[in-house]
Structure 1
């Protein structure tokens, strides 16, 4: 009996201890929602996206819906303006036109019914989509089909006065027809998919605790960070004292082994030998003309990058790390569009940084969590190869997976090592249906030696992500990705140096 009560007492004690531990962990996680002293790019990026897009549909209107309602409002105002211009061309005052086309209305001679048709669309669409916040397509389908039928019927019976022929008669009919179809196209292909995606992000099981926090007036940035760093978050009922449990995120599709990012750091050094030997052996089956084309493209890319790098005028601030050490600025160039430039310092020898970013390109997914896959497709020579890179979702899923095929080159100019990349085509990696093929313009890492253990690190990024994405989301995402990469690079170098030093100082570690 004593043994039985002791075991019961021990079990109860363990349950109480476990509950207290979970409560303490939860309390610490909630405390992280206060301002941080160190920079975490995911926090700023997630808060930016949430504040602009992921908002409960009952409190504020989605941005894409406001755009649709602006189109509907423009439809009504534009048709009234056209009708006034039409009567001015005919030298008829508004009073006379109102008596002739409204009071003495005839479908054969009046164009005011087309204006009334736009007003009908405005009223019918504003009530369900602006006031009631409904999302069904039936209302915009009704207005478009009814407008189309009426305009087709009117076109068959409408007669134009021989003495007042003008292009305005036709413009009013054609404009009303086009605007009606623009509204249904925008609502069906833009509003519905975009809002469905936002609601799924809000209502998905792994974000329920985040929604609860939002409703209470506070959002914990670290809850976003935990979700981003390979955890599912499941909220338990309030009766369980807000305990939270985390389970591992699913593996990448097609992966039959563990994530290589969790491998021991010593495995990285074994891979680097493979990369160096691969770069030392150029591809033999490329003809000379093709090799010359690749080399000329690489030279042109290097020249463009050097011009952009030396340009110091009119760069605009985009984002800065909390400690102020890393800054992202941008500038629009007529030939390439927007170019982002990150500037910071990395405490590592230049040779180590170049080795990690150029010779060990296959190992980038091990330390950069925004990259899913990275591989060298074809080697031209030791300083030039074609690479493939697959990136994961960014900006809380608003930017889906993107893959890149780049011509990657290494050059040294005025003491600076340039690792340049630009989009190219390769038969081994055609575009896939599972992700969007994005294209890099002149893009490069530029590493300059400050002293034996510190380098200036610059990243010029010019990319066309393709797809329909608002520009401010792209700006926030790309700036956050840049700051995230340099921070991940620092952490990985720090861990690699620590492990390497401990490995070399412990002879017992060499034996298996």
Structure 2
């Protein structure tokens, strides 16, 4: 066993420590798979580390061609097989009831002497074509898009509609065969069931599983590799955690995949006002201008009348109103909570990055930039809503908070952040002027009347009725989760 001299230099100790880290990393790679660019040199600047970040991405796709097929996708492929088998059985029964002298004569009439107006064998061929396309696209090549099922459904519908108009349901003086109607309708219904199942079950479910794996799901590999990282290559100081964003699921294993934050972003929320002002650039002043305008608009919404109740449950109420100034329908949540307004206001400000841990309607919440001690830029990913009809959206929001008219508030509005461009796997939504207002309850200092004004543009082709249902449900769910979180806050206070 080698012996280290007590007079060993600091560089020698770092070499030994680095060697141990390299061995730990190699062990992790051997057990849990390779990682790109294993030998990573830390970015150093004047002997201090720079925290780096990059656009959010997924380094390992759970549904890549080399991975196993998800259970919901296997079910979808089995439905396609059922479609083919069921149509074939119905066609066999139909053929035997056509009135031919023998079964083989009936089959010969349907297949060998095929005519579009008198034979239904083509419905079986169309079902076989659908089966082949689905199995090749969604089982073999693991497609994660709806374009293939859209093509098969469109072609099938065109064929069936044409068939209904031209097919002779009774010919040669023979009575009508009722199975001809059933076979055509069955083919049409099964086609649309496959389309619905892929679009509303397979793709949303796989995306949800993938997001869970990307946003903080613990596993043995991450634990071992995380321990291998300790004390070495990526050091994040406590002051930096408040002002820089590192996407969930990002891989620290490639220097070319990241960029350093601009040096002008070196102030923290605890910095003095004078030092902050000296560091503010033109973009920061634009952020502050938007913050003040948003704050004024928020209090205009507080004074707005004509709210219509959308949903009410146990004192919690969701209302809506069309605001002419914003040219949009706005939602408002009102609920009374067993916590002081100041305490809830401070928790909402300081612990925004921890909100997904208690609020399942959020998948991700990260602070991108601290503009000053009362303003920041955050990145949020909202979970899908309305039973998967509204897919996950991501937002970049400007938050500005303070106290006005003896009321605590957090004003929210959309913002641009060049270092966080739109992500391919999310629809980038937009927040209009909105926010939260924390009102005191007269004579009850430990109670808070919360008002959340929600002004959002989800983008995409979504019917307004679906949006209303989804947003109303999100607001009511938030109230339920917030009450559970308040109990946790109280538990920490007493402990």
Q: TM-score, length-normalised on structure 1?
A: 0.47
Q: Which structure dedicates a bigger proportion of its chain to helix?
A: 1
Q: TM-score, length-normalised on structure 2?
A: 0.49
